[in-house]
Structure 1
Amino acid sequence: MSEFSHSYAVCAYKESPYLKECLASLAAQKEASPFFIATSTPNVSMEGLAKEFGVPLYVSDKESGIGRDWNFALSHVETDFVTIAHQDDVYLPEYGKMLREYHRRAKDPILFFTDYGELRDGETVYETNLLRVKRKINSLIRPKAFWHSKFMRNRALSLGNAICCPSVCINRKRFPDFRFGEEMGSNLDWDAWSRLAKEKGSFVYIPQPLMLHRIHEGSETTNQLEDGKRFAEDFEMFRRYWPKPIAKVLMRKYASSADSNKISE
């Protein structure tokens, strides 16, 4: 297997109080990979952190948008593989090391993704209703024998978006023209995985929690859950795989699980 060429593209937006913690977690990886910051909303704090960590800061001149910002970050990737890191999240020290280990095991990987935990009010949480549901879905493609199966990965994706976006490492060498769709506000990641799932190669699930996704009032996930955008896009995605009556049933179950992403009052 060839050398694993990997980097992190950190997508930053406005002034996040958590960006420094994210950058520090990348700098503390047991097996280091280069990283950079990409933004459409530069500010003094962000510029200071780029200097502190000695990393490039790329500034887009386009209007902010999740898909647009992620694609801008992708345009600056120079390695074969990339993890699009979210500014509020934290990567555990073994994340990069395990990517390399699974890269040695995988045949023709399309992407890697890991299990994860959550950060809530400073506490690390590994067990919620949503996390348990996602692990059950991902168990469909956990065995190495199923990494290469288009059928199994699409069955998993048909049950919900169980792939944690900031845990994903994409094979840019194989898909240099890959872009996230910019029309969705929430499920652009689910849409991306559903498109990549049609390609020949492996979806590799690493069943260890190797990063922590932060849940807080200012997060985009929380905002979309509150204004209903998330559920509208969820239904659109289910309709790609199922007739309308079945999609409605799945939506009800999926919506009850997603309640654990809301902030407790």
Structure 2
Amino acid sequence: MKHTFVVLAYKESKYLEMCIQSVMNQTHSSEVMIATSTPNAFIDKMATKYNLSVVINEGKKGIGYDFDFALHAAEGLVTIAHQDDVYEKTYAQKMVEAYNKNQNAIILFSDYYEIRDNQKVETNTNLKIKRILLFPLRLQSWAGSRFIKRSALRLGNAICCPAVTFNTKQITSEKVFASDFQCNIDWNGWENLSNQKGKFIFISEKLMGHRIHVESTTTEIINDNIRTKEDYIMLKRFWPSFIARAINKFYKNAEKSNQE
């Protein structure tokens, strides 16, 4: 099946070109395009330099709506590449190989490392917790179980959004991410998809790098205390309110690692 990287670009990111280079320098021949809701000369310049098409979201604006727009900008296997992040050369190849063995997969995703101050961070407390939550999904025979799929989501969002490849032929909903959330768009999306038939395929190799920096949307949201409110809403989808409240208090402390 065809694989496409849709690079989701927003305003003018100094890391956009690095992201584009990483998705174009893959061992698997994938298509690459840019999606944006903020068209500008900088994005046009990058598109021209690398001979990429640009699709513009002229519909409802917001992070979740931008994600859905990017997801439906191509067919087959689609990776929404966030402009600040980078991908290892074998990312696309590994995703396609995993799909060929699991063609009923809804999503396929890899482990990842963080990029802080332009340095690779292979592990920290946050990454360790996520890997523990994802451990049951290492057994692909379990990966179609609704209970197991949701196990990666019950205590927080263990799935890194830019590490995910979507099988658009398996996704039945046109609106995966669309919501009024500002932070937990991806967690909301995985929860929606966990209710559909099909597998969540986890590849335990670190195949991409997710950049953490002070200008990132995630950091801004944590500073505004928006994430805490949204986490509680999500946790209540899995737990009674009093348990959700206790987990949320613990999770808030873990968020501080994004600011360290």
Equivalent residues in 2 for 1:92-107, closer than 5 Å: 92-107=88-103
1:149 maps to: 145
Q: Is the 8 A contact 1:40 1:63 kept in 2?
A: no
Per the TM alignment, residue 210 of structure 1 is displaced from its structure 2 partner at its CA by 0.6
Instruction: Please identify runs of 4+ aligned residues in structure 1 that moved more than 3 A.
Output: none
Q: 2-side partners of 1:141 and 1:209: how far apart?
A: 15
Pairwise CA distance, 1:176: 5.7
Of residues 174, 184, 189, the one that matches 2:186 is 189
Within the alignment, does 1:203 sit opposite 2:187 as a pair? no
Note if contact 2:57-2:69 (Cα within 8 Å) is conserved in structure 1: yes
Shift in Å, 1:161? 0.4
1:226 aligns with 2:226: no
SS at 2:252's partner residue?
Answer: helix
SS in structure 2 of the partner of residue 158 of structure 1: coil
Give the counterpart letter for 2:50 in structure 1.
Answer: F
Change (3 A) 1:60 1:107: closer
Shift in Å, 1:174: 2.1
How many matched pairs? 259
TM-score by length of 2: 0.95
Shift in Å, 1:63: 5.9
Once the two structures are superposed, residues 129-152 of structure 1 have per-residue CA deviations (whole angstroms, 9 ceiling, x without a partner) of 110110000002211221111111
Q: Which runs of 5+ in 1 are unaligned?
A: none
Report the counterpart of residue 238 of structure 2 in structure 1: 241
Report the CA distance between 1:177 and its aligned residue: 4.1
How does the TM-score come out when normalised to structure 1?
0.93
Distance 2:60 2:73 in 1: 17
Which residue of 12, 18, 22 corresponds with 1:15?
12
- The 5 Å alignment of 1:105-144 reads 105-144=101-140
**Which consecutive residues of structure 2, in runs of 5 or more, have no partner in the other structure?**
none
Counterpart residue number, 1:60: 57
Equivalent residue number for residue 74 of structure 1: 71
Query: Once the two structures are aligned, what percentage of the paired residues are identical?
Result: 38
Alignment of 1:152-191 (within 5 A): 152-175=148-171, 177-179=173-175, 180-191=177-188
Stretch deviating more after TM superposition (182-191 or 16-25): 182-191
CA drift of 1:60 comes to 2.6
Once residues 254 and 62 of structure 1 are traced to their aligned partners in structure 2, the CA distance between those partners, rounded to angstroms, is 34
Name the counterpart of 1:32: 29
